[in-house]
Amino acid sequence: MTDYSKTSHTVFHHRFHIVWITKYRKRILTGDLRLRIRELIAQVTEEMHIRIVNGVLSAEHVHLFVEIPPHVCVSDFVKIAKGRSSRKVQQEFPSLGKVYRGRHFWGRGFFSSTSGNVTDDMINDCINQHSDANQPANVSNISLE
């Protein structure tokens, strides 16, 4: 059975696979820089009540498998994690200024996909099992039961 997370008024199982890359896909995430970025991302997830299920920092990208509460937008989490880590590492590692001009450490954008125990086919089967699901009066694939 799935381990659901709970808040005061919500039970949820929202898991996301999130990936973002360094600017110009430079293979720079090594050594102390890699460790510092891991610490900063962990701080952001703790502050936003996000649970890291799994993750890895490669030389040029970050992979995270996280459980995000319903009140937190995925894009808000990524914006804060990328913004804070970029600002802090550029302050703490001045040598990055030679590699990255301006204040850009991460590439623009990110990849995100959901994960769960329910597939599209299972949802469609559940909907189609209702008594009036296949009536011709459907508007935009929404049946009136």
Predicted local confidence at residue 142, as pLDDT: 43
Could you tell me if 62 and 19 are in contact, meaning their C-beta atoms sit under 8 angstroms apart?
Answer: yes
Helix (H) or strand (E) holding 17: strand 15-21
* pLDDT surpassing 90 at residue 103: no
Short-list 26, 98, 74, 72, CA closest to 64: 74
d(CA 135, CA 145): 10
CA distance 138 to 120: 19
Give the pLDDT score at 38: 92
Q: Which tens digit of pLDDT belongs to each residue from 88-99?
A: 999 999 988 888
Residue 137, in any domain of the structure: no
- CATH code: domain of residue 72: 3.30.70.1290
Q: What local confidence, expressed as pLDDT, does residue 138 receive?
A: 42
pLDDT band at 122 (very low <50, low <70, confident <90, very high): confident
pLDDT single digits (tens) 21-72: 999 999 999 999 999 999 999 999 999 999 998 888 888 999 899 999 999 9
In the sheet that holds 111-115, the strands lie side by side as 51-57, 61-67, 15-21, 111-115
Please report which helix (H) or strand (E) contains residue 61, including its range: strand 61-67
31: containing domain: 5-117
**Residue at 145 is within a domain:** no
Total structural domains in the chain?
1
